[in-house]
């Protein structure tokens, strides 16, 4: 019998599985909707020994994620927390520096608790303005540089995983121009899976 490995997926709508799925936090106790519309589903399908807890909430900013970190991450005592956040901060007009400071505090909270971090980049949404895309790219560049300064952290370019090859600031598929399709969540999971496998070695 393979031991179960607990992984917490912490984030906003693109962790929750919006629009086709509501996470267990949004729709207790077990979530509701098309379970394939969440990257956690595809990770557990690839690795049945992984217990990936979907702790995504539609509409949340990074400060919301930080406020519930102890409740939703540390209480599960996971080996790894996957953190993908910042798109709602950018959408609501926050600066890249503000997002980076809050994400940095999240990463530090995990490090202090001896929980490894897999940090994902902010994925695109089709209605983003050039200025919103500029700030998202700035934050993502900062995220992707984190492993040079934090041995507890690895990164995954989730934006690249779901971006259209012909238009990298747009989703390859979306039911609402804001969130990935089921295939997009599967693509996210594939990228995350490879990074998690390396992190858990």
pLDDT digits (tens, 9 = 90+) for 137-168: 999 999 999 998 888 999 999 999 999 999 99
Whether 80 contacts 196, CB under 8 Å: yes
Strands 116-120, 153-156: pairing kind: parallel
Which pair of structure tokens corresponds to residue 169? 């600031």
State percent of the chain over pLDDT 90: 95
Rounded mean pLDDT, 86-112: 97
pLDDT of residue 2: 59
- The position carrying tokens 């989730």 is 158
Query: Is the torsion defined by CA of 191, 192, 193, 194 positive or negative?
Result: positive
Confidence grade of residue 39 (pLDDT, cut at 50, 70, 90): very high
- The pLDDT score that the predictor gives to residue 172 is 96
Region of residue 32 (left: phi > 0; alpha: psi -120 to 50; beta: else): beta
Give the predicted TM-score (pTM) of the model.
0.95
CATH tag, 5-199: 3.40.50.1110
pLDDT given for residue 177 in this prediction? 95
Residue ranges per structural domain of the chain: 5-199
**What is the rounded average pLDDT of the residues 45-73?**
97
Report how far apart, in Å, the C-alpha atoms of 25 and of each of 13, 68, 77, 89, 186 are: 12, 11, 17, 20, 21
The first and second tokens of residue 15, run together, are 């962790």
Summarize pLDDT for 166-186 with one digit per residue, the tens. Answer: 999 999 999 999 999 999 999
pLDDT at 148: 87
Identify the pLDDT of residue 1: 46
Residue 79 Cα distances to 89, 117, 168, 201, angstroms = 27, 9, 32, 11
Is the pLDDT assigned to residue 64 strictly greater than 60?
A: yes
- pLDDT, residue 85, reads 98
**Confidence at 28, pLDDT banded by 50, 70, 90:** very high
- At residue 149, the pLDDT reads 85
Q: What is the mean pLDDT of residues 61-81?
A: 97
Whose CA is closest to 169, among 124, 132, 127, 136?
124
| Closest of 118, 122, 148 to residue 135, by C-alpha | 122
Average pLDDT, the chain: 96
């Amino acid at each position: 019998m393979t031991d179960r490995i607990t992984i917490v997926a912490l984030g906003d709508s693109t962790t929750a599985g919006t629009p086709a799925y509501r996470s267990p936090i949004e729709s207790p106790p077990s979530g509701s909707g098309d379970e394939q519309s969440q990257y956690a589903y595809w990770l557990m399908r690839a690795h049945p020994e992984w217990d990936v807890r979907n702790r995504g909430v539609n509409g949340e900013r990074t400060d919301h994620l930080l406020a519930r970190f102890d409740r939703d991450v540390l209480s599960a005592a996971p080996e790894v927390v996957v953190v993908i956040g910042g798109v709602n901060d950018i959408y609501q007009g926050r600066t890249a520096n503000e997002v980076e400071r809050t994400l940095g505090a999240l990463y530090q909270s995990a490090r202090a608790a001896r929980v490894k971090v897999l940090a994902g980049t902010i994925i695109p949404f089709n209605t983003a303005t050039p200025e919103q895309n500029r700030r998202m790219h700035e934050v993502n560049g900062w995220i992707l540089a984190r492993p040079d300064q934090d041995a507890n952290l690895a990164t995954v370019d989730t934006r690249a995983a779901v971006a259209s090859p012909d238009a990298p600031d747009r989703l390859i598929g979306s039911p609402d121009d804001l969130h990935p399709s089921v295939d997009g969540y599967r693509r996210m999971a594939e990228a995350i899976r490879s990074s998690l496998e390396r992190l858990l070695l």
